[in-house]
Amino acid sequence: MVFVAREQEILTLRGTLDRACNGDGGVVIIVGEPGSGKTVLLRRVVDYAEEHVDR
């Protein structure tokens, strides 16, 4: 799957994750039509978390 024009969404989700890691909770809701790339978007954020978040 080609992943196009989602940089702003990725940055927003990374920022939310970073704030959560610093104790600032929040909620994110991902909505889209089937095949719109929701899973790919979240996979990118999970990949980022695995590389940058201390467990």
Residue 21, pLDDT above cutoff 70: yes
18 in Cβ contact with 50 (< 8 Å): no
User: For residue 8, is pLDDT > 60?
Assistant: yes
Confidence of residue 52 (pLDDT cuts 50, 70, 90): confident
pLDDT one-digit tens code per residue, 37-49: 899 999 999 999 9
- Residue 4 CB burial class (10 angstroms; 0-12, 13-18, ≥19): exposed
Cα–Cα distances (Å) from 32 to 20, 23, 41, 43, 54, in that order, read 24, 28, 11, 15, 30
Q: What pLDDT does residue 55 have?
A: 66
CA distance 18 to 10: 12
Residue with tokens 């899973």: 39
The pTM (predicted TM-score) of the whole model is 0.75
